[in-house]
Structure 1
Amino acid sequence: MSEMNHELTEIAIGDVVTGTVVKIEDKQVLVDVGYKTEGIVPISELSNLHIETTAEEVDEGDKLTLKVKKVEDDEIVLSKRAIDADEAWSSLEEKYQNGDIFETEVKEVVKGGLVVDVGLRGFIPASLVETFYVEDFSDYLNKRLTVKIADLDREQNRVILSHRAVEEEELTAQKQRLLQSLEEGQVLEGIVRRITGFGVFVDLGGIDGLVHISQLAHKHVEKATDVVSEGQSIKVEVLAVDRDNERISLSHKKTLPGPWENIEERVAKGDVLEGTVKRLVNFGAFVEVLPGVEGLVHISQIANRHIGTPQEVLEEGQTVQVKVLDVNEDEERISLSIKELEQQQAEADYKQYEKDDDQSSFQLGDMIGDKLNKYK
C-alpha cells in the first residue's frame, strides 16, 4: 500500500501521461499508465462533445495521451478531453488569426443552431449557417460543412463558427469571376429574380443584370409581368458592362426573333390587312399591321381625292384596312394603300349598281309585256 502511495506522489495534477485502454465500461474507461493502479477516464472526460457510451470514443488497446485531473485515495482521474482541447485551441487560434476555411462535421442539431466537432465543442448559430433562411436543420446532422471562425474566446470556452461567411466569400469570388468574363454581345441564360416598374433583374449565376422594360420585347410593354415572371429562365444578351460599379445592362428582346424576320412568308403583295395608325407625318401614315411591324401609307395612297395632309383623313390610334403594295424584308419596309381598297370598293359598288339597274330594267320590261298581252 505504501508503495502504491509512493507511486501516486510522483503524479501531479496537470501532468500529461500516456497509456493503453485496458477496459471499457459504460460510464468510464480504465487505462494502464504504468502504475500499479489503473487510471480512470470518466465518460465526461473522453470527449468535448456529448457521447452516450464510452465505446463511441475509444476501443480496448487504444493508445491515449491524457492529462491528470485528480490524484486522491489511490485513484487517478484522467482526461482525454483536456488534451484534445489544448491541441484544438492551439489549432483554432492559428486558424482564427489566418482567417482559414476548414471542414467540420455537425454532431448535434440544437435550438438556435448546430453543434460541430472542431476538437472541442463548436457552435454555428442559425443565422450563420446559410445565406438564406433555413426552417428545419434536421438534414444537417452528420453533414460536413466548410466554416470560418467568427469568434473565439478561450476563457469563456466559446467557439463560434460560420458557414455563411464561407458561402458569401465564394459568391463574391464567383461574382467577380463572372463580371470579368462578361463581354458585350454575349448571350446567356439567367433567372428572373426581381421585377420592378422599370424592368427586371436577372441572375446570371452570382450577379444580377438589368433588363430595362424597353428591352423585354419587340413590342411596347406596359408591365414587365406581361412578359416574364419571377423564377423564369430567360435568354439575355449583354449590352454593356460597368465593372467599376458592377452594373450589367441586358436585353431579352435581342435574343428573340425580330418582328421582320421571315416577314415575306407572313405578308405578301396584294394581302388586305387590318392595322393601327401609329404615326402621321407630312408624307403619309405609318400603320402597324403586325406586332412591331409598321408599313407606310404614302399620302398619295390615303384617299381617292387630293389631300394636303394625312390628318385630313386619319388620326393616330385609328383602325384601318390596308392593301399591301410591296414587301421588302432586307430593308424592313412595307408599302401600303388605303386608296386602292377604296377604289376596289367603289368599283364593286358600281358593278352592283349596274347589276341592280339591269335587273330593274328587266323586271320593268316584263311588267310592260304582261300588260300588252292582256290587250291582245
Structure 2
Amino acid sequence: MSFNLDSFQIGDLITGKIIKLEPTGVLVDFYTDQLAYVPLLELSLTEIQSPEEAVQLNQIREFLVVGNYDGEHGIFFSHCSPETLKDSDRLYETALYLASEKCGHPVNREDLIVQTKIRDVHGNGVSATIQWFLCSQEHPPTVSFSIRKLEMRIAWERVGQLQAEDVIVYGKILKKTPRGALVKIEGLRGVILTYVDKHREELVVGEKLPLNIIKVREDCNHIVLLHRSVSIRLRQLQVGQVVSGIIRGIKNYGVFVDIGDLYALLPTSKMFHPSVDHPNQLFKINDHLKAKIIKIDPENCQVVLESCGS
C-alpha cells in the first residue's frame, strides 16, 4: 500500500502503531484511512529474518517518510551558493536539464519533483544534493515508510560525531580486499585503509580492531578508517621530518619504507639517482634508509618521502 504526497512529506518523522506482523513485513496504522504495509527490509538497519526481531505487535514506532518513485536520480554539488538554493526556478532548470539528458527527451516541469538536501556548510556556500523524481498522471508519486532509513540517518549522524570527537571505535572485519578491509561501524559499512599498514597480513576476518574514523561522506556512502596505531603514528609525523626505516617493498615507481606501523613511499622521481631505470638497482629488501617527509595525507593514509642521503 502506498500514499500520495498530499498525505505526507518526504523526510518527515511520523509515528505509527504496529497492527499486524506478517512473514515478509508488517501493517502499520498511521492514523489515516488505510493501513500501510512496511516490508521486512525496511524494519531494521541490521539483517533480520522476521519482523519480531525488530518490532513488536501494538508497538508505537517512529518511521521516516521516504520516496517510492520510478526514475529517481540526483547530483551532488560541492559548492552551491545560498542564492541558488533560495531560487527554486534555478534549481528546477538544473533538474529539468539533467532529467531531460538522462531520459533522452524533454521533461515537463509538472512531471518533475525536486528535493534538495544540504550536506555541508562552508565559507563559500554549501554542499548540496539535488534529487529529482519523474512522475505523471498515470503514475503519480507515492511515499513509503522506513525504520531502516531512519536508523541509517541516525547512524550517519553518530559516525560524524565520532569522527569529530576522535573517538576510538571497534569494527569487526567482514572481508579483506587488496587495498584494505571492510568493517561495520554503527551498522554502516566502512573501509579500513591497510595498503600502507605493515600489519595488513595479520588481519583476520571476524576480528575486532581499534579504529579511528578519518573520512565520512554520506552523499557517496563512504566511511574511511585507520587502525588506531597507524592513526597515532601519522599524527607524530611532520613535513620536513627525517625518518629512518626499513625497505619492505620495491616497485618500478618507488620503494615502500617501514617507518613504524605504516609504510611510506619513496618515489623513484624523488631519489638522488634519476638516471636509474629501476629502484632495485639501488636498494634491496630489508635495507635501512633515511629520508625526509615531503607530504602527509591523513585521509588517504599516505606519507611521501624524498632522499636525503645516507
Q: TM above 0.5, one fold?
A: no
Task: Select the structure that is richer in strand.
Answer: 2
TM-score, reference length from structure 1: 0.35
* Higher Cα Rg, which structure: 1
TM-score, reference length from structure 2: 0.41
